[in-house]
Structure formats: structure tokens, C-alpha cells
Amino acid sequence: MPVDLILWDWNGTLLDDVALCVDALNRLLAEYGYPQRYTLDSYREIFGFPVEEYYVRAGFDFSRHPFPVLAKSYMEDYLPRSAACPLARGARQALADFDRAGLRQVILSASRVEDLERQVTERGIRGCFDRLLGLGDIYAKSKVEVGRRFFRESGFDPGRAVMIGDSVHDFEVARAMGVRCVLQCAGHQTEAALRATGAPVVPGLPEAADYILREAHHE
């Protein structure tokens, strides 16, 4: 498979924020008086997009606590704490391997652009990426819209791009853009959920990089 471009998901893929998200969910449940708590495994079983549906699966009652109120509380807790989150296992090496192979790299995230810029820059890897694509402008409603606009404006061929993500949503976004996808199961969803997409699934980023570069070399 000829590859010119790597599209990276950020949360749960390059940024290892899964443990923080479990803790933040449990703190949110406690703050609003819900008794249930989640382990890493049970969190991965319920996580998904849209986020509103994930909150329903977690047990929140929007008639008592509207989703926008809960989401605001969650982000007020999550964002300051996310500064302590490390990059995922093998992230720096994977970035370097793709760079050495001459591939361009872009992050496509559902995060706000300003949060993404700060988080990437804080970790000293901003120079690895041509672009950081996030939500937050008046034209964008989803990662699919942002990604499609990038392909239109950049001239890259979606057929020569691969997305690396950690969720069923990442697979759906890639498919909607006409981009191939490799999923790694060290993030926010279970291996079983990822395998159900039919996409290649690997343990983590070193294996994702190896898979993509090996397949590209075979072309």
C-alpha cells in the first residue's frame, strides 16, 4: 500500500490519557452523586462516540444533569490534569520512523485546536507534524469535515494516507474520508470492539508503525 501521509488520532493514541479519563469519569460521577465507579476494563467496555451516548452508558441522567453541564465539569477537571499525561509507549520512535521514511504526519483530533496545540507543544513534538487539525472553528462539526477539508486544500490523496487510532470512531472517520486505518488497542476501547470493524488491530504504536512501513515497503 503506497503511503505518503500518516493521520494520527491524539487522545488515547499518541497521548496516553486513558487512566486520567477513567479517573475523571469517576470523579464526575462522585461530584453529581452517582454511586457507580469504573475500572479501566469496564470503562473501555462503555466508551465510545457520540460522547452523549457514552455518558448515558456510564449511567448519567440528563433529566437531572444536562449533558452540557456534565461535559463542562468534565473538561474543567480533565484539561489541567492532562498536562501530566505521557506520550504513549513507542510514540516518539514511531514518529521518528515515519519521518525517516519520508512520510508526512498530521494530527486529526476532536480536541479544540488551541488545546491540541498546547498539548503537542508541551511534549516537544510539534515539529513532527505538518498540521494539527482539531475542532473549534465555525465551519467544522466533526473530524470527518475537518479531514475532508484538509484533503481538498492540501492536495494529498486520501488513497495514499493511513489513519492510526484507538477507537471505532477513528475507523468510521477514516472510512468516511476514504483513508485506510490501523487501530491500536492500548487506548480507550477494547480489542474486541476494534476487531469488529475489520480493520487491522495491533497492540500499540510500535506495532502500528511496523505494520504500515512493512506494508508500504511491500508495494
Distance set, CA 176 to CA 31, 68, 158, 169, 171 (Å): 37, 27, 10, 10, 9
Percent of the chain scoring above 70 in pLDDT: 96
The Cα angle at residue 144 between residues 21 and 16, in degrees rounded to 5: 25
The whole-number average pLDDT for the span 129-147 is 81
Residue 215 banded pLDDT, cuts 50, 70, 90? confident
50 vs 160: CA distance, rounded Å = 28
Q: Is the pTM of this model over 0.75?
A: yes
Residues 6+ apart with CB under 8 A from 94: 205, 206, 208, 209
Residue 139 predicted with pLDDT over 50:
no
Between these two residues, 135 and 39, which has the higher pLDDT value? 39
Residue 104 banded pLDDT, cuts 50, 70, 90? very high
85 vs 141: CA distance, rounded Å = 27
Beta-strand ranges (E) seen in 51-100 are none
pLDDT of residue 138: 39
Distance set, CA 51 to CA 26, 102, 180, 181, 187 (Å): 16, 36, 24, 21, 16
Residue 141 banded pLDDT, cuts 50, 70, 90? low
Residue 219 predicted with pLDDT over 60:
no
Percent of the chain scoring above 90 in pLDDT: 90
Q: Which helix (H) or strand (E) holds 20?
A: helix 18-31
* pLDDT tens for each residue of 181-200: 999 999 999 999 999 999 99
Average pLDDT of the chain to the nearest whole number: 94
The whole-number average pLDDT for the span 119-144 is 86
pLDDT of residue 109: 95
48, burial (CB in 10 Å: exposed 0-12, middle 13-18, buried 19+) = middle
